[in-house]
Amino acid sequence: MNSWLLLSLLMAHIIGDFYLQSDKYCKKKGELKFKSLFLYIHAIIIGLLSWAFVPFANFGTFALIICGTHLLIDAIKTYTRKNLWAFLIDQFAHIAILSLIAYLYIPPHQLPIQSIDFLDTLPIPLFAFGLLCCLKPTNIFIKLILERYKIGETTSCENIKNAGALIGNLERILTLVFVLIGQYEAVGFIIAAKSLLRFKDSDTAKTEYVLAGTLLSFGIATLCGLAIKQFSILL
C-alpha cells in the first residue's frame, strides 16, 4: 500500500466530509434522503477533491468509485438513527474504501503533498492531517459520546457547550503538538491547570460534563499524536 496515497485520500475525505459540509445540509440530507440534491453534490465534491489530491488521468476511474461509494454510504446512513454507532460505521466504511484504493492504485509520479514534505522530523502533510482530525471531527465524536451516555443534558451545560468546543479545540492542538515533540509532562500540566480552573463548580451535572469532555479531548488528541508518530515511519 502506498502510504502517501492513503494520506492524500484521507486528507481529501476529512476536508470534504467535515469542513465542506454544514450541519444545515447534513440535516437536509437526513430529511430528504435520496431526494436531497446536496447528497449528490457532496459526493461529487468528495470525488473531485480526491482527484485534486491525486491529479493523474488514470486515477479518474478511482475518483468515480470514491464518489459513487460515498454517495451510497451516505444515503444508507440517512435511513439510520443519528448516533455514535452510525457515525463510527459510516467513517469506517469510507476509510475502508479509501484503504482498498490505496492498495490497488499505483501513482505514476510523486503526489502533490509530497512536495511540501521538507522537514526531517515530521511530514508537514501528516501534521496538518492530525490537526484536521483533532478539530471538527473530534468535536462531533465527543458530542456523540456525551449524548450516548446522556452527559450534559442540563440547561447549565447547554450554556457552556460553545465555549467548551473552542477550549477543546485549543487544548487538543496543544496536546497534539506536545505529544509529537515528546513533551508528555506539558500535557499533564495543561490537564492540572484546567482542573484548577473548572472543577470548583457546585453544579454536579456541569462538573461531570466538563470532566468527561476533558478526558475525551486529551485522550483523543494523545492517541492521534501517537498514531501520527507511527504513521510517519511508513512515509
| Segment 42-101, tens digit of pLDDT | 999 999 999 999 999 999 999 999 999 999 999 999 888 889 999 999 999 999 999 999
> Do both 81 and 158 map to the same domain?
no
Same domain, 107 and 149: no
What's the CA angle centered on 193, arms 191 and 196, to 5 degrees?
110
**Helical H runs in the chain?**
3-14, 23-32, 37-53, 60-77, 84-104, 124-134, 136-148, 155-158, 161-180, 184-198, 204-234
**In-domain check, residue 183:** yes
> What does the pLDDT read at residue 235?
75
Contact 68, 42 (CB under 8 A): no
Q: Which domain holds residue 44?
A: 3-115
User: Does a structural domain hold residue 122?
Assistant: no
| Euclidean distance between CA atoms 14 and 39, whole angstroms | 16
Question: Mean pLDDT over all residues of the chain?
Answer: 85
Which amino acid is it at 212?
A
| 83 and 10 in a common domain | yes
- Residue 63 is assigned to a structural domain of this protein: yes
Q: What pTM does this model have?
A: 0.87
Residue that terminates a domain, selected from 65, 88, 115: 115
Return all residues near 36 (Cβ < 8 A) that are at least 6 apart. Answer: 28, 29, 78
Is the domain of 136 the same as that of 216? yes
Mind listing the pLDDT tens digit for each residue in 128-171?
999 999 999 999 999 999 888 877 666 656 666 666 677 788 88
